[in-house]
Amino acid sequence: MADSFDEMSGWTGSDPREAYGEIRRWLEETPPDILQTRQAQAELLFRRTGITFSVYGDAEGAERLIPFDVVPRVLTGAEWARLERGLIQRVEALNLLLADLYGSQEILKAGIVPTELVMGNPQYQLAVAGHVPPQGVYVHIAGIDLVRTGPDDFYVLEDNARTPSGVSYMLENREMMLRLFPELLERSQVAPVETYPDLLLETLRSVSPDGADGDAGIVVLTPGPHNSAFYEHSFLADKMGVELVEGADLFVRDDRVFMRTTEGPRRVDVIYRRIDDAYLDPLFFRPDSTLGVPGLLTAYLAGKVAIANAVGTGVADDKAMYSYMPEIIRFYSGQDPILSNVPTWRCREPDHLSHVLAHLGELVVKEVDGSGGYGMLVGPHATKAQIAGFAAKLRAAPEKFIAQPTLALSTCPTLSDGRIQPRHVDLRPFVLTGASGVRVVPGGLTRVALAPGSLVVNSSQGGGTKDTWVSG
C-alpha cells in the first residue's frame, strides 16, 4: 500500500488533506475502544434489522452481514461536482447507445463498435429490437463503479446497467452514522442521501405509460426471499410505499399487467424489476422460468407497461462494451469523456491477447459478463498454477475476457483489529434517469477491501462498506 494514495493522509502519510480535517480530529480524540464499541453496536443493529445477504454456492447457505466500517469516506464538494458531471455524461451516453442499438444502429454502421460484439452478445434481445420504451429511457437506475488512484485521478471501473444493487446499504450506512455519531455529521456539513427513495419513486412515475404519472401503479418485482439481494428489494419497496411482488402476484390481460389483491385486480403501470431478462417472461425467454410473468413482454411491446431497467440493457452492461465507452461518448455527444476508463485489453483481438498472455502476472483479467468478483484473476496475487490455468482459458475462449492493469487503488482509514489502518476502496454512485433528465444522489456506496493489501472489495469476497460523505 506504500504506493497507494491515501485519501486522508496523501501520498506520504505526512501531508494530511483538508477534506479529512474533521475526521482526523475525531479519530485523534476518540479512544479506539469507543470506536470498537460503536462498531459492535452497528453490527448488532444491522443484524436486528435483518440487513443481510446470501452468497450463491455457499454450502452452508448462511445469511451474512456485510461488514460496516465506522470511519466514513469523505469527498469534497468540488470533487463531487466533477464526478457528477462525468456520471451524467456517461449515463446519457449509455441511454443513447441502447436506443441506437435497438433502433437504427448508426454506431455499428460507423464502425465504432464491432457488430459481432452486439449481435453475438446473449444479452442483446432481438425480441425488443425496434421497440422504444416509455419516455425513451432504457437505463433508469445505473450503478457506476469508480476507483481513485491520486488526488485528481478517478476512473470508471464498471457500468452496471441491468439491476445494480447496493443502494440500500448506502442508505442504511448513513442512518447508522446518524445514530452513532450525529454530532460529527453536523460539524462536517454532509450532503444528504435520504432523498434517494423519493427520487427513485419520482423517476419511476415519470416513465409511466399513458401519462399516468402520479396515479401510476408501481411495483418492485423480486425473485423472492432466496435471492441474495432480497433485503434490498423489500427495503426499497417499503421506502417508496409500493408493493413488493413476485411473478405469481402478477398477470396479463388484454395487454395490460395487473396485480392480484384481496380487493381484486389492480393495474400495474411500472415494474422496477430485480430479475434478469431471461426469467421475465417464460413465453419469450426461458420457458422453465417460474420467476416471471407469462405475457409480460407482450404488454411491454404494446407500450402498456414500463420496465425499469428496460429489457435488453444487459448488452451495455458488459466489460467488452465498457472498453468502447470513450468512443461511444464521443460518438453521441461530440465531447471527450469527463471520467476516464481504466486502460483495457480486449482478449478477442489477437494482438491484445498476445500482450495479456505475456503479462498475466501483472494484470487483472475479468470475464466480460462476470460480476461479484467471481471468475477473475488478480495476477500479482495469483499462484503460478492459477496463472497457467487462466492462460489456458484465454487461449480456449479469448472473446470471454478483458484484461486491465493492476491499479494502485486509493486507501481510506479503516478500523481493523482495533487500530486505524489503510484499506483499499472503490465507489458506486447511483444515477437515476427519468422523463425529466438525469440525477445523482451525492455520495454512493463505498466498498472496502478489509483484508490487508487486498484489492477485492465485493461483499461476496469478504469486502465491507463505509458511509460516503460529500462535504463542504
HEC letters along 113-132: CCHHHHHCCCCCCHHHCCCC
**6 closest CA partner among 342, 421, 444, 405:** 421
Phi first, then psi, for residue 2 (nearest 5°) are: -60, -25
HEC letters along 249-301: HEEEECCEEEECCCCCCEEECEEEECCCHHHCCCCCCCCCCCCCCCCHHHHHH
Q: Can you read off the three cell numbers belonging to residue 308?
A: 425499469
Spatial separation of the C-alpha atoms in residues 310 and 103, rounded to whole Å? 14
283 Cα distance to chain centroid: 29
pLDDT exceeds 80 at position 56: no
pLDDT-derived band at 371, boundaries 50, 70, 90: low
Q: What is the pLDDT of residue 372?
A: 56
- Do 221 and 272 contact (CB within 8 A), yes or no? yes
Q: Can you read off the three cell numbers belonging to residue 351?
A: 494482438
Spatial separation of the C-alpha atoms in residues 281 and 284, rounded to whole Å? 6
Q: Can you read off the three cell numbers belonging to residue 9?
A: 493522509
Q: What is the pLDDT of residue 451?
A: 86
- Read off the pLDDT of residues 385-441 as tens digits, 9 standing for 90 and up: 999 999 999 999 999 999 999 888 999 999 998 899 999 999 999 999 999 999 999
Spatial separation of the C-alpha atoms in residues 221 and 320, rounded to whole Å? 29
pLDDT exceeds 60 at position 471: yes
Q: Can you read off the three cell numbers belonging to residue 81?
A: 461536482
Beta bridge partners of 446: 427, 466
Spatial separation of the C-alpha atoms in residues 396 and 386, rounded to whole Å? 15
Secondary structure (3-state) at 147:
strand
Q: What is the pLDDT of residue 418?
A: 87
- Read off the pLDDT of residues 122-167 as tens digits, 9 standing for 90 and up: 999 999 999 999 999 999 999 999 999 999 999 999 999 999 999 9
What average pLDDT does the chain have? 92
Spatial separation of the C-alpha atoms in residues 92 and 106, rounded to whole Å? 17
Q: What is the pLDDT of residue 381?
A: 85
pLDDT-derived band at 47, boundaries 50, 70, 90: confident
Q: What is the pLDDT of residue 346?
A: 94
Please give the helix or strand (H or E) that residue 407 lies within, else none: none
Phi first, then psi, for residue 128 (nearest 5°) are: -110, 10
Q: Average of pLDDT values for 366-388?
A: 83
Q: What is the pLDDT of residue 1?
A: 47
Q: What is the pLDDT of residue 456?
A: 78
Secondary structure (3-state) at 45:
helix
pLDDT exceeds 90 at position 247: yes
The β-bridge relationship of strands 243-245 and 250-253 is: unpaired
pLDDT exceeds 50 at position 116: yes
pLDDT exceeds 70 at position 325: yes
pLDDT exceeds 90 at position 258: yes
Spatial separation of the C-alpha atoms in residues 316 and 140, rounded to whole Å? 13
The β-bridge relationship of strands 345-346 and 218-221 is: unpaired
pLDDT exceeds 60 at position 39: yes
The contacts of residue 184 (CB under 8 Å, 6+ apart) are 22, 23, 26, 177
Q: What is the pLDDT of residue 59?
A: 46
Spatial separation of the C-alpha atoms in residues 232 and 466, rounded to whole Å? 17
**319 closest CA partner among 280, 255, 279, 365:** 365
**454 closest CA partner among 446, 469, 467, 464:** 464
DSSP class of residue 183 equals H
**365 closest CA partner among 380, 376, 356:** 376
| Cα–Cα separations (whole angstroms), residue 466 to 132, 177, 264, 382 | 38, 10, 44, 27
Give me the amino acid identity at 442: P
Radius of gyration of the chain (CA): 22
DSSP class of residue 190 equals B
Q: What is the pLDDT of residue 50?
A: 74
Region of residue 254 (phi > 0: left; psi between -120 and 50: alpha; otherwise: beta): left
